A and B are shown apart, each in its own frame.
Chain A
Amino acid sequence: MTTSPLLHPGRPRLIVLEGIDLSGRTTQVELLRDWLEAQCFSITTTAWRTSPLISDVLARARAGTPLQPLAYSLLYCADHIDRTQRVIKPALERGEIVIADRYTYTAFAREAARGLDTAWVRNLYRFSVQPDAVYYLHISPEEAVERRRLLQHQRQSQALVSSVSHGQKDGKHKGEKDGKKHKHKRRQENTRPLLSTVVLSSPQLSQEALESFRLFEKKMYSEYQQMQKEFGFTVIEGNQPIEQVQDALRSIVIQLLSTM
Protein backbone atom coordinates (compact mmCIF):
# COMPACT_ATOMS: atom_id res chain seq x y z
CA MET A 1 0.00 0.00 0.00
CA THR A 2 1.23 3.48 -0.79
CA THR A 3 0.76 6.71 1.06
CA SER A 4 -2.22 8.65 -0.11
CA PRO A 5 -1.33 12.21 -1.13
CA LEU A 6 -4.46 13.37 0.64
CA LEU A 7 -3.23 12.45 4.12
CA HIS A 8 -2.64 15.25 6.58
CA PRO A 9 0.06 14.04 8.92
CA GLY A 10 0.10 17.30 10.84
CA ARG A 11 -3.29 17.01 12.42
CA PRO A 12 -3.61 15.25 15.76
CA ARG A 13 -6.28 12.58 16.06
CA LEU A 14 -7.64 10.30 18.70
CA ILE A 15 -8.65 6.95 17.28
CA VAL A 16 -10.37 4.43 19.52
CA LEU A 17 -10.74 0.68 19.11
CA GLU A 18 -13.46 -0.93 21.15
CA GLY A 19 -14.92 -4.41 21.36
CA ILE A 20 -15.69 -7.15 23.84
CA ASP A 21 -12.92 -9.39 25.20
CA LEU A 22 -11.00 -11.42 22.62
CA SER A 23 -12.38 -9.39 19.74
CA GLY A 24 -8.78 -8.87 18.58
CA ARG A 25 -8.45 -5.19 19.48
CA THR A 26 -4.90 -5.33 20.79
CA THR A 27 -3.60 -7.22 17.76
CA GLN A 28 -5.31 -4.80 15.40
CA VAL A 29 -4.00 -1.74 17.30
CA GLU A 30 -0.45 -3.05 17.00
CA LEU A 31 -0.77 -3.80 13.30
CA LEU A 32 -2.35 -0.42 12.64
CA ARG A 33 0.35 1.37 14.60
CA ASP A 34 3.15 -0.39 12.69
CA TRP A 35 1.51 0.37 9.38
CA LEU A 36 0.90 4.04 10.16
CA GLU A 37 4.44 4.43 11.47
CA ALA A 38 5.71 2.95 8.23
CA GLN A 39 3.80 5.77 6.52
CA CYS A 40 5.78 8.25 8.64
CA PHE A 41 2.99 9.13 11.04
CA SER A 42 3.89 9.71 14.67
CA ILE A 43 1.82 7.30 16.69
CA THR A 44 1.20 6.91 20.39
CA THR A 45 -0.80 3.98 21.64
CA THR A 46 -2.45 3.71 25.01
CA ALA A 47 -4.26 0.79 26.55
CA TRP A 48 -6.80 0.42 29.32
CA ARG A 49 -5.45 -0.29 32.80
CA THR A 50 -1.83 0.60 32.04
CA SER A 51 -1.31 3.61 34.30
CA PRO A 52 1.54 2.90 36.72
CA LEU A 53 -0.56 4.46 39.47
CA ILE A 54 -3.09 1.74 39.64
CA SER A 55 -1.72 -1.22 37.72
CA ASP A 56 -0.34 -2.85 40.87
CA VAL A 57 -3.53 -2.08 42.81
CA LEU A 58 -5.58 -3.79 40.12
CA ALA A 59 -3.11 -6.65 39.83
CA ARG A 60 -3.40 -7.26 43.57
CA ALA A 61 -7.16 -7.08 43.39
CA ARG A 62 -7.19 -9.73 40.70
CA ALA A 63 -4.71 -11.89 42.57
CA GLY A 64 -6.27 -11.90 46.02
CA THR A 65 -8.13 -9.18 47.87
CA PRO A 66 -11.10 -8.47 45.62
CA LEU A 67 -12.36 -4.92 45.29
CA GLN A 68 -15.98 -3.86 45.57
CA PRO A 69 -17.75 -2.66 42.39
CA LEU A 70 -17.68 1.06 43.17
CA ALA A 71 -14.04 1.06 44.22
CA TYR A 72 -13.16 -0.93 41.14
CA SER A 73 -14.91 1.42 38.75
CA LEU A 74 -13.27 4.44 40.39
CA LEU A 75 -9.81 2.91 40.01
CA TYR A 76 -10.50 2.36 36.31
CA CYS A 77 -11.45 6.01 36.13
CA ALA A 78 -8.21 7.00 37.90
CA ASP A 79 -6.32 4.98 35.29
CA HIS A 80 -8.14 6.81 32.51
CA ILE A 81 -7.57 10.28 33.98
CA ASP A 82 -3.90 9.57 34.59
CA ARG A 83 -3.33 8.33 31.03
CA THR A 84 -5.30 11.26 29.65
CA GLN A 85 -2.99 13.68 31.45
CA ARG A 86 0.30 11.91 30.92
CA VAL A 87 -0.12 10.13 27.57
CA ILE A 88 -3.11 11.16 25.48
CA LYS A 89 -3.14 14.96 25.84
CA PRO A 90 0.64 15.46 25.51
CA ALA A 91 0.73 13.26 22.39
CA LEU A 92 -2.14 15.16 20.80
CA GLU A 93 -0.41 18.43 21.65
CA ARG A 94 2.68 17.18 19.84
CA GLY A 95 0.42 16.64 16.83
CA GLU A 96 0.51 12.87 16.97
CA ILE A 97 -2.13 10.28 16.25
CA VAL A 98 -3.21 8.49 19.41
CA ILE A 99 -4.66 5.01 19.11
CA ALA A 100 -6.51 3.90 22.23
CA ASP A 101 -6.99 0.21 22.89
CA ARG A 102 -10.32 0.59 24.74
CA TYR A 103 -11.63 3.92 25.90
CA THR A 104 -14.44 5.34 28.03
CA TYR A 105 -16.99 3.09 26.29
CA THR A 106 -15.36 0.10 27.93
CA ALA A 107 -16.12 1.66 31.30
CA PHE A 108 -19.68 2.47 30.24
CA ALA A 109 -20.28 -1.10 29.08
CA ARG A 110 -18.47 -2.72 31.98
CA GLU A 111 -20.09 -0.76 34.81
CA ALA A 112 -23.54 -1.09 33.26
CA ALA A 113 -22.97 -4.84 32.98
CA ARG A 114 -22.07 -4.82 36.67
CA GLY A 115 -25.23 -2.96 37.58
CA LEU A 116 -23.89 0.51 38.38
CA ASP A 117 -25.91 3.58 37.50
CA THR A 118 -25.22 4.74 33.94
CA ALA A 119 -25.56 8.47 34.61
CA TRP A 120 -23.14 8.21 37.52
CA VAL A 121 -20.54 6.41 35.42
CA ARG A 122 -20.85 8.78 32.47
CA ASN A 123 -20.42 11.79 34.72
CA LEU A 124 -17.11 10.34 35.91
CA TYR A 125 -15.73 10.47 32.37
CA ARG A 126 -17.29 13.80 31.46
CA PHE A 127 -13.93 15.53 30.95
CA SER A 128 -12.41 12.99 28.56
CA VAL A 129 -10.97 13.95 25.19
CA GLN A 130 -13.57 13.45 22.45
CA PRO A 131 -12.32 10.80 20.00
CA ASP A 132 -12.23 11.53 16.25
CA ALA A 133 -13.40 8.01 15.48
CA VAL A 134 -14.49 4.92 17.38
CA TYR A 135 -14.02 1.60 15.59
CA TYR A 136 -16.02 -1.19 17.09
CA LEU A 137 -14.64 -4.67 16.42
CA HIS A 138 -17.78 -6.71 16.38
CA ILE A 139 -17.75 -10.34 17.45
CA SER A 140 -20.64 -12.21 19.06
CA PRO A 141 -20.39 -13.35 22.69
CA GLU A 142 -20.53 -16.94 21.40
CA GLU A 143 -17.46 -16.27 19.26
CA ALA A 144 -15.71 -14.79 22.32
CA VAL A 145 -16.48 -17.94 24.32
CA GLU A 146 -15.19 -20.09 21.47
CA ARG A 147 -11.92 -18.12 21.35
CA ARG A 148 -11.59 -18.34 25.11
CA ARG A 149 -12.15 -22.10 25.01
CA LEU A 150 -9.38 -22.43 22.46
CA LEU A 151 -7.08 -20.26 24.57
CA GLN A 152 -7.81 -22.35 27.63
CA HIS A 153 -6.91 -25.48 25.70
CA GLN A 154 -3.63 -23.95 24.64
CA ARG A 155 -2.86 -22.81 28.17
CA GLN A 156 -3.67 -26.20 29.61
CA SER A 157 -1.34 -27.98 27.25
CA GLN A 158 1.31 -25.32 27.86
CA ALA A 159 0.86 -25.67 31.60
CA LEU A 160 1.20 -29.41 31.33
CA VAL A 161 4.39 -29.03 29.35
CA SER A 162 5.73 -26.44 31.78
CA SER A 163 4.92 -28.58 34.82
CA VAL A 164 6.93 -31.40 33.27
CA SER A 165 9.85 -29.04 32.64
CA HIS A 166 9.46 -27.53 36.13
CA GLY A 167 7.47 -24.53 35.14
CA GLN A 168 9.92 -22.76 32.90
CA LYS A 169 8.46 -19.64 31.35
CA ASP A 170 5.15 -20.04 33.05
CA GLY A 171 4.04 -16.56 32.10
CA LYS A 172 4.99 -16.75 28.45
CA HIS A 173 1.46 -16.93 27.09
CA LYS A 174 0.52 -13.78 28.96
CA GLY A 175 2.01 -11.77 26.14
CA GLU A 176 5.29 -9.98 25.85
CA LYS A 177 3.99 -6.45 26.14
CA ASP A 178 3.97 -6.48 29.94
CA GLY A 179 6.86 -8.86 30.23
CA LYS A 180 9.34 -6.61 32.00
CA LYS A 181 7.04 -5.32 34.70
CA HIS A 182 6.01 -8.74 35.88
CA LYS A 183 9.44 -10.25 35.91
CA HIS A 184 9.64 -10.75 39.65
CA LYS A 185 6.05 -11.90 39.77
CA ARG A 186 6.72 -14.48 37.14
CA ARG A 187 9.56 -15.81 39.21
CA GLN A 188 7.18 -16.28 42.10
CA GLU A 189 4.77 -18.16 39.90
CA ASN A 190 7.54 -20.44 38.79
CA THR A 191 8.13 -21.70 42.30
CA ARG A 192 4.72 -23.32 42.32
CA PRO A 193 3.84 -24.34 38.80
CA LEU A 194 1.91 -27.39 39.91
CA LEU A 195 -0.77 -25.36 41.60
CA SER A 196 -1.64 -23.40 38.50
CA THR A 197 -1.63 -26.61 36.51
CA VAL A 198 -4.13 -28.17 38.88
CA VAL A 199 -6.41 -25.16 38.71
CA LEU A 200 -6.22 -24.87 34.97
CA SER A 201 -6.76 -28.50 34.21
CA SER A 202 -9.73 -28.96 36.49
CA PRO A 203 -12.48 -29.33 33.89
CA GLN A 204 -15.22 -28.36 36.30
CA LEU A 205 -13.56 -25.11 37.34
CA SER A 206 -12.74 -24.07 33.80
CA GLN A 207 -16.32 -24.88 32.82
CA GLU A 208 -17.60 -22.58 35.55
CA ALA A 209 -15.16 -19.85 34.60
CA LEU A 210 -16.23 -20.20 30.99
CA GLU A 211 -19.88 -19.90 31.90
CA SER A 212 -19.40 -16.73 33.95
CA PHE A 213 -17.25 -15.39 31.13
CA ARG A 214 -20.06 -16.11 28.67
CA LEU A 215 -22.66 -14.34 30.82
CA PHE A 216 -20.47 -11.29 31.31
CA GLU A 217 -19.52 -10.99 27.62
CA LYS A 218 -23.18 -11.27 26.72
CA LYS A 219 -23.98 -8.30 28.92
CA MET A 220 -21.02 -6.33 27.59
CA TYR A 221 -22.11 -7.15 24.04
CA SER A 222 -25.62 -5.84 24.55
CA GLU A 223 -24.23 -2.64 26.09
CA TYR A 224 -21.93 -2.15 23.08
CA GLN A 225 -24.83 -2.79 20.71
CA GLN A 226 -26.83 -0.11 22.48
CA MET A 227 -23.98 2.40 22.40
CA GLN A 228 -23.29 1.86 18.69
CA LYS A 229 -25.90 4.33 17.48
CA GLU A 230 -25.69 6.67 20.43
CA PHE A 231 -21.98 7.34 19.94
CA GLY A 232 -21.76 6.63 16.21
CA PHE A 233 -19.35 3.70 16.31
CA THR A 234 -17.97 2.51 12.99
CA VAL A 235 -18.55 -1.23 13.03
CA ILE A 236 -15.89 -3.59 11.68
CA GLU A 237 -16.70 -7.28 11.56
CA GLY A 238 -14.14 -8.99 13.79
CA ASN A 239 -15.10 -12.52 12.94
CA GLN A 240 -12.77 -12.86 9.95
CA PRO A 241 -9.05 -13.46 9.47
CA ILE A 242 -6.72 -10.93 11.13
CA GLU A 243 -5.45 -9.58 7.79
CA GLN A 244 -8.93 -8.93 6.49
CA VAL A 245 -9.93 -7.08 9.64
CA GLN A 246 -6.74 -5.05 9.36
CA ASP A 247 -7.43 -4.21 5.70
CA ALA A 248 -10.92 -3.02 6.56
CA LEU A 249 -9.50 -0.94 9.40
CA ARG A 250 -6.79 0.61 7.25
CA SER A 251 -9.15 1.71 4.52
CA ILE A 252 -11.44 3.39 7.06
CA VAL A 253 -8.50 5.03 8.81
CA ILE A 254 -7.24 6.37 5.45
CA GLN A 255 -10.63 7.94 4.90
CA LEU A 256 -10.48 9.56 8.32
CA LEU A 257 -6.96 10.87 7.83
CA SER A 258 -7.72 12.35 4.43
CA THR A 259 -10.46 14.58 5.79
CA MET A 260 -9.41 17.82 7.37
Chain B
Amino acid sequence: MYYAALALAIRIDQQFEERLNNIVASAGIKEEHAPVCTDTGTQAASSTSLLMQPHNYPGRLIAAEGLDGSGKSTQLRLLQFWLQAEGYDVLLTGWTPSKLIRRALKTARKQDQVDPMLLSVLHAADFAGLYERDILPALQRGIIVLADRYVYTALARDLARGVERTWVENLYRFAVRPDLGIYFQISAEQSLERILSDHPRLKYYQAGMDMGLSLDPVASFYEFQQRILLEYERLVEVYALLRLDALLLIKQQQHLLREAVSKALPSKL
Protein backbone atom coordinates (compact mmCIF):
# COMPACT_ATOMS: atom_id res chain seq x y z
CA MET B 1 0.00 0.00 0.00
CA TYR B 2 2.70 2.41 1.02
CA TYR B 3 4.81 1.52 -1.97
CA ALA B 4 1.91 2.01 -4.27
CA ALA B 5 1.37 5.45 -2.88
CA LEU B 6 5.04 6.21 -3.16
CA ALA B 7 5.16 5.02 -6.74
CA LEU B 8 2.17 7.20 -7.52
CA ALA B 9 3.83 10.10 -5.79
CA ILE B 10 6.93 9.68 -7.86
CA ARG B 11 4.96 9.50 -11.06
CA ILE B 12 3.01 12.59 -10.10
CA ASP B 13 6.29 14.13 -9.06
CA GLN B 14 7.59 13.78 -12.60
CA GLN B 15 4.49 15.22 -14.20
CA PHE B 16 4.53 17.92 -11.59
CA GLU B 17 8.11 18.79 -12.37
CA GLU B 18 7.36 19.04 -16.06
CA ARG B 19 4.34 21.23 -15.60
CA LEU B 20 6.14 23.36 -13.09
CA ASN B 21 8.93 24.04 -15.54
CA ASN B 22 6.41 24.97 -18.19
CA ILE B 23 4.65 27.33 -15.85
CA VAL B 24 7.86 28.89 -14.63
CA ALA B 25 8.86 29.46 -18.23
CA SER B 26 5.49 30.81 -19.36
CA ALA B 27 5.06 33.04 -16.33
CA GLY B 28 8.48 34.50 -16.97
CA ILE B 29 9.57 34.10 -13.36
CA LYS B 30 13.00 35.63 -13.21
CA GLU B 31 15.82 34.67 -10.95
CA GLU B 32 16.75 38.21 -10.00
CA HIS B 33 14.66 40.70 -8.04
CA ALA B 34 11.94 42.35 -10.02
CA PRO B 35 12.00 46.15 -9.99
CA VAL B 36 10.03 47.87 -7.26
CA CYS B 37 6.66 48.92 -8.52
CA THR B 38 5.17 52.10 -7.17
CA ASP B 39 1.60 52.10 -8.39
CA THR B 40 -1.13 52.45 -5.82
CA GLY B 41 -3.54 49.79 -6.88
CA THR B 42 -6.29 52.15 -7.93
CA GLN B 43 -5.20 51.68 -11.49
CA ALA B 44 -5.18 47.95 -10.91
CA ALA B 45 -8.25 47.57 -13.05
CA SER B 46 -6.43 48.15 -16.30
CA SER B 47 -7.97 47.40 -19.65
CA THR B 48 -6.27 44.00 -19.80
CA SER B 49 -6.64 41.41 -17.09
CA LEU B 50 -3.86 41.49 -14.53
CA LEU B 51 -4.75 37.88 -13.81
CA MET B 52 -3.28 36.89 -17.15
CA GLN B 53 0.16 38.46 -16.87
CA PRO B 54 3.03 38.25 -14.37
CA HIS B 55 3.32 41.10 -11.87
CA ASN B 56 6.42 43.21 -11.24
CA TYR B 57 6.27 43.53 -7.48
CA PRO B 58 9.24 42.45 -5.37
CA GLY B 59 7.06 40.13 -3.28
CA ARG B 60 5.69 36.76 -4.30
CA LEU B 61 2.13 35.53 -4.33
CA ILE B 62 1.39 31.86 -3.79
CA ALA B 63 -2.28 30.93 -3.97
CA ALA B 64 -3.84 27.67 -2.81
CA GLU B 65 -7.15 26.52 -4.24
CA GLY B 66 -9.38 23.49 -3.92
CA LEU B 67 -12.61 22.22 -2.44
CA ASP B 68 -13.38 22.48 1.27
CA GLY B 69 -11.40 19.89 3.16
CA SER B 70 -8.70 19.51 0.54
CA GLY B 71 -6.00 20.28 3.10
CA LYS B 72 -4.90 23.65 1.70
CA SER B 73 -4.77 25.39 5.05
CA THR B 74 -2.66 22.68 6.68
CA GLN B 75 -0.20 22.79 3.83
CA LEU B 76 0.02 26.57 3.81
CA ARG B 77 0.67 26.69 7.53
CA LEU B 78 3.52 24.20 7.12
CA LEU B 79 4.79 26.26 4.24
CA GLN B 80 4.63 29.39 6.34
CA PHE B 81 6.79 27.89 9.13
CA TRP B 82 9.31 26.71 6.61
CA LEU B 83 9.53 30.04 4.78
CA GLN B 84 9.85 31.95 8.03
CA ALA B 85 12.63 29.60 9.16
CA GLU B 86 14.29 30.34 5.84
CA GLY B 87 14.21 34.03 6.73
CA TYR B 88 11.37 35.27 4.56
CA ASP B 89 8.65 37.69 5.62
CA VAL B 90 5.39 35.86 5.14
CA LEU B 91 1.77 36.96 5.12
CA LEU B 92 -0.91 34.27 5.29
CA THR B 93 -4.32 35.45 4.10
CA GLY B 94 -7.63 33.64 4.39
CA TRP B 95 -11.07 33.72 2.83
CA THR B 96 -13.40 34.34 5.75
CA PRO B 97 -16.03 36.96 5.00
CA SER B 98 -15.49 40.16 6.98
CA LYS B 99 -17.95 41.24 9.64
CA LEU B 100 -19.49 43.85 7.37
CA ILE B 101 -20.08 41.45 4.53
CA ARG B 102 -21.37 38.76 6.87
CA ARG B 103 -24.08 41.14 7.94
CA ALA B 104 -25.00 41.93 4.34
CA LEU B 105 -25.05 38.22 3.48
CA LYS B 106 -27.30 37.55 6.43
CA THR B 107 -29.71 40.27 5.33
CA ALA B 108 -29.65 38.92 1.78
CA ARG B 109 -30.60 35.46 3.06
CA LYS B 110 -33.85 36.77 4.46
CA GLN B 111 -35.10 37.58 0.97
CA ASP B 112 -36.90 34.86 -0.96
CA GLN B 113 -34.16 34.56 -3.48
CA VAL B 114 -30.57 35.68 -3.31
CA ASP B 115 -29.40 37.07 -6.62
CA PRO B 116 -26.13 35.26 -7.57
CA MET B 117 -24.76 38.52 -9.00
CA LEU B 118 -25.43 40.28 -5.73
CA LEU B 119 -23.58 37.55 -3.82
CA SER B 120 -20.78 37.78 -6.33
CA VAL B 121 -20.37 41.54 -5.95
CA LEU B 122 -20.52 41.39 -2.15
CA HIS B 123 -17.76 38.77 -2.09
CA ALA B 124 -15.79 40.78 -4.63
CA ALA B 125 -16.08 43.87 -2.42
CA ASP B 126 -14.78 41.87 0.50
CA PHE B 127 -11.91 40.45 -1.50
CA ALA B 128 -11.09 43.88 -2.98
CA GLY B 129 -10.78 45.18 0.59
CA LEU B 130 -8.39 42.37 1.52
CA TYR B 131 -6.48 42.85 -1.70
CA GLU B 132 -6.06 46.61 -1.46
CA ARG B 133 -5.44 46.64 2.28
CA ASP B 134 -3.21 43.59 2.78
CA ILE B 135 -2.13 41.64 -0.30
CA LEU B 136 -1.01 44.43 -2.63
CA PRO B 137 0.95 46.41 0.02
CA ALA B 138 2.68 43.18 1.11
CA LEU B 139 3.70 42.40 -2.47
CA GLN B 140 4.98 45.94 -2.83
CA ARG B 141 7.08 45.51 0.31
CA GLY B 142 8.66 42.28 -0.91
CA ILE B 143 6.69 39.92 1.34
CA ILE B 144 5.77 36.36 0.43
CA VAL B 145 1.99 36.21 0.44
CA LEU B 146 0.41 32.81 0.99
CA ALA B 147 -3.22 33.11 -0.04
CA ASP B 148 -5.50 30.43 1.40
CA ARG B 149 -7.98 30.80 -1.49
CA TYR B 150 -7.73 33.57 -4.05
CA VAL B 151 -9.88 34.87 -6.90
CA TYR B 152 -10.26 31.38 -8.37
CA THR B 153 -12.42 30.43 -5.40
CA ALA B 154 -14.73 33.33 -6.15
CA LEU B 155 -14.74 32.55 -9.86
CA ALA B 156 -15.49 28.84 -9.29
CA ARG B 157 -18.30 29.53 -6.81
CA ASP B 158 -19.87 32.35 -8.83
CA LEU B 159 -19.74 30.32 -12.02
CA ALA B 160 -21.22 27.34 -10.18
CA ARG B 161 -24.07 29.67 -9.14
CA GLY B 162 -24.65 30.53 -12.79
CA VAL B 163 -23.20 34.03 -12.96
CA GLU B 164 -22.18 34.98 -16.49
CA ARG B 165 -18.59 34.06 -17.26
CA THR B 166 -17.28 37.18 -19.01
CA TRP B 167 -18.93 39.41 -16.42
CA VAL B 168 -17.31 37.72 -13.46
CA GLU B 169 -13.94 37.26 -15.15
CA ASN B 170 -13.91 40.97 -15.84
CA LEU B 171 -14.92 41.65 -12.26
CA TYR B 172 -11.75 40.04 -10.89
CA ARG B 173 -9.28 41.26 -13.43
CA PHE B 174 -7.90 43.85 -10.99
CA ALA B 175 -6.11 41.12 -9.03
CA VAL B 176 -2.55 40.19 -9.98
CA ARG B 177 -1.69 36.75 -11.20
CA PRO B 178 -0.05 34.59 -8.53
CA ASP B 179 3.55 33.53 -9.06
CA LEU B 180 2.35 30.08 -8.20
CA GLY B 181 -1.22 28.85 -8.07
CA ILE B 182 -1.76 25.38 -6.64
CA TYR B 183 -4.92 23.36 -7.01
CA PHE B 184 -5.42 20.76 -4.30
CA GLN B 185 -7.34 18.07 -6.09
CA ILE B 186 -9.94 15.96 -4.29
CA SER B 187 -13.36 14.70 -5.33
CA ALA B 188 -16.69 16.03 -4.06
CA GLU B 189 -17.16 12.78 -2.10
CA GLN B 190 -13.84 13.18 -0.36
CA SER B 191 -14.58 16.81 0.36
CA LEU B 192 -17.93 15.92 1.90
CA GLU B 193 -16.40 13.12 3.98
CA ARG B 194 -13.64 15.32 5.37
CA ILE B 195 -15.91 18.27 6.06
CA LEU B 196 -18.55 16.20 7.84
CA SER B 197 -15.97 14.54 10.07
CA ASP B 198 -14.57 17.96 10.99
CA HIS B 199 -17.60 20.13 11.55
CA PRO B 200 -20.87 18.36 10.97
CA ARG B 201 -22.92 21.54 10.61
CA LEU B 202 -22.69 22.98 7.13
CA LYS B 203 -23.12 26.73 6.77
CA TYR B 204 -25.88 28.15 4.58
CA TYR B 205 -23.78 29.56 1.75
CA GLN B 206 -21.06 26.94 2.12
CA ALA B 207 -23.67 24.29 1.37
CA GLY B 208 -25.00 26.37 -1.52
CA MET B 209 -28.43 26.47 0.13
CA ASP B 210 -29.16 29.77 -1.65
CA MET B 211 -29.31 27.88 -4.96
CA GLY B 212 -32.27 25.76 -4.00
CA LEU B 213 -30.54 22.57 -5.12
CA SER B 214 -31.88 20.57 -2.21
CA LEU B 215 -33.48 21.18 1.15
CA ASP B 216 -30.98 18.81 2.70
CA PRO B 217 -27.74 20.70 3.45
CA VAL B 218 -25.59 17.63 2.86
CA ALA B 219 -27.14 16.84 -0.51
CA SER B 220 -26.98 20.50 -1.47
CA PHE B 221 -23.33 20.74 -0.43
CA TYR B 222 -22.44 17.70 -2.49
CA GLU B 223 -24.21 19.01 -5.58
CA PHE B 224 -22.65 22.43 -5.14
CA GLN B 225 -19.14 20.98 -4.72
CA GLN B 226 -19.56 18.99 -7.89
CA ARG B 227 -20.43 22.11 -9.82
CA ILE B 228 -17.49 23.94 -8.27
CA LEU B 229 -15.23 21.05 -9.20
CA LEU B 230 -16.25 21.36 -12.86
CA GLU B 231 -15.44 25.06 -12.81
CA TYR B 232 -12.10 24.42 -11.10
CA GLU B 233 -11.22 21.97 -13.84
CA ARG B 234 -11.62 24.75 -16.38
CA LEU B 235 -9.86 27.36 -14.28
CA VAL B 236 -6.85 25.08 -13.74
CA GLU B 237 -6.35 25.04 -17.49
CA VAL B 238 -7.16 28.68 -18.26
CA TYR B 239 -5.06 30.14 -15.44
CA ALA B 240 -2.36 27.43 -15.50
CA LEU B 241 -2.72 26.30 -11.90
CA LEU B 242 -0.53 23.48 -10.67
CA ARG B 243 -2.43 20.31 -9.78
CA LEU B 244 -1.51 18.60 -6.54
CA ASP B 245 -2.98 15.28 -5.48
CA ALA B 246 -4.50 16.19 -2.14
CA LEU B 247 -4.84 12.53 -1.16
CA LEU B 248 -1.09 12.12 -0.81
CA LEU B 249 0.41 12.04 2.66
CA ILE B 250 0.75 15.44 4.25
CA LYS B 251 4.53 15.11 4.19
CA GLN B 252 4.62 14.16 0.54
CA GLN B 253 2.43 17.08 -0.43
CA GLN B 254 4.58 19.44 1.58
CA HIS B 255 7.69 18.14 -0.10
CA LEU B 256 6.25 18.74 -3.55
CA LEU B 257 5.00 22.15 -2.53
CA ARG B 258 8.33 23.31 -1.18
CA GLU B 259 10.01 22.28 -4.38
CA ALA B 260 7.53 24.28 -6.44
CA VAL B 261 7.61 27.26 -4.12
CA SER B 262 11.39 27.48 -3.98
CA LYS B 263 11.45 27.95 -7.74
CA ALA B 264 9.05 30.87 -7.43
CA LEU B 265 10.92 32.58 -4.60
CA PRO B 266 13.03 35.69 -5.07
CA SER B 267 16.75 35.19 -4.51
CA LYS B 268 17.76 36.19 -1.00
CA LEU B 269 19.86 39.29 -0.49
Contacts and interface: CB of A to CB of B under 8 A. Distances in A.
Interface size class of B (residues with CB under 8 A): 20 to 34
A85 interface: yes
A205 interface: no
Q: Which of B46, B100, B132, B174 has the most CB of A within 10 A?
A: B100
A124 to B, nearest CB: 7
Interface of A: 52-54, 56-57, 60, 67-71, 74-75, 77-78, 81-82, 85-86, 114-117, 119-121, 123-124, 126-127
B45 A114 contact: no
A127 B164 CA distance: 10
A78 B121 contact: yes
A115 B174 contact: no
Contact of A78 (B41, B43, B125): B125
B131 A70 contact: yes
B167 A67 contact: no
A77 B115 CA distance: 13
A78 B122 contact: yes
Given A78-B125, A116-B45, A117-B45, A70 B115 contact: no
Contacts of B101: 57
Contacts of B115: 81-82, 85
B216 to A, nearest CB: 27
Interface stretch (B102-110, B181-189, B206-214): B102-110
Contacts of B111: 86
B252 to A, nearest CB: 39
A54 B43 contact: no
A120 B128 contact: no
B254 to A, nearest CB: 34
Interface string B161-193: 000100100110110000000000000000000
A78 B167 contact: no
A120 B43 CA distance: 11
A68 B133 contact: yes
Nearest to A60: B100
Given A53-B108, A82-B118, A115 B43 contact: yes
Interface residue SS majority, chain B: helix
Contacts, number: 83
Contacts of B103: 56-57
Contacts of A123: 167, 170-171
B174 A70 contact: yes
Interface of B: 41-47, 100-101, 103-104, 107-108, 111, 115, 117-118, 121-122, 124-126, 128-129, 131-133, 164, 167, 170-171, 173-174
Q: Which of A52, A116, A120, A126 has the most CB of B within 10 A?
A: A120
Contact of A57 (B46, B104, B164): B104
A219 to B, nearest CB: 14
Contacts of A115: 42-43
Contacts of B107: 52-53
Contacts of B174: 70, 120
Contact of A75 (B43, B125, B173): B125
24 contacts: A56-B103, A57-B100, A57-B104, A70-B45, A70-B128, A70-B129, A70-B132, A71-B128, A74-B124, A75-B125, A78-B121, A78-B122, A81-B117, A81-B118, A85-B118, A86-B111, A114-B42, A117-B47, A119-B47, A120-B45, A120-B170, A120-B173, A123-B167, A124-B121
A68 B167 contact: no
A10 B103 CA distance: 38
Q: Which of B46, B128, B131, B174 has the most CB of A within 10 A?
A: B128
Nearest to A119: B47
